[in-house]
Copies of this chain bind each other. A is one copy, B any other.
Amino acid sequence: MKRIGLTLVAFAVVALAQYGGNGFPYPEGYRLWTHVKSMELKPGHPLYESFGGLHHIYVNQVGLRTYLEGKKAPFPKGTVIVFDLLSVKEEGNALLEGPQKLIGVMVKDPERYRETDGWGYYAFGPDRKPLAIDPKACHDCHRGAANTDYVFSAFRP
């Protein structure tokens, strides 16, 4: 438990070191955050081109309680939600996790991201380098979940 705690602190230090003035750091250690839910988008799905494959949603400690309570209140500042998108491999009637395609990141900071209702949107490639995305386009779609603070996913109990 102590060891894990130290690991998380180490991740945090690395994250701070990588933090750039205008961007957001790669969310190191998100694989140890809480798994919210999963879904696969298949060929033919309207979002297949951007988000086809198997995705898992993870949330950090700051945002976890809001999920556990059913998103009845807005997520607190500091919430980070990761959308981890993997390609899929079919093998002998099994669907396996393939190489990662990208991660999408939502960050809650009401003052910083006023234009997108308090959420910052970022994406990173499998090499952990930032991908160029348009946060306003992300948010346009997320407006569909305006009544749950713009977050589509719900915690699977």
Contacts and interface: CB of A to CB of B under 8 A. Distances in A.
Interface of A: 1, 3-4, 31-32, 34-35, 37-45, 48, 54, 56, 58, 61, 64-65, 92-97, 155-157
Given A39-B94, A40-B40, 20 more contacts: A1-B61, A4-B65, A31-B156, A31-B157, A32-B64, A35-B35, A35-B56, A35-B58, A37-B97, A38-B38, A38-B54, A38-B56, A39-B95, A40-B94, A40-B95, A41-B93, A42-B93, A42-B95, A44-B93, A48-B93
Q: Of residues A1, A35, A45, A157, which shows the largest number of chain B Cβ atoms within 10 Å of its Cβ?
A: A35
Chain A, interface SS category: mixed
Contacts of A41: 93-94
The 9 A-B pairs at the shortest CB distance, nearest first, are namely A35-B35, A40-B95, A45-B93, A44-B93, A42-B93, A41-B94, A1-B61, A45-B94, A32-B34
Contact of A97 (B31, B38, B58, B94): B38
Contacts of A157: 31
Number of copies: 2
Given A4-B65, A65-B4, A156-B97, A35 B31 contact: yes
Contacts of A3: 65
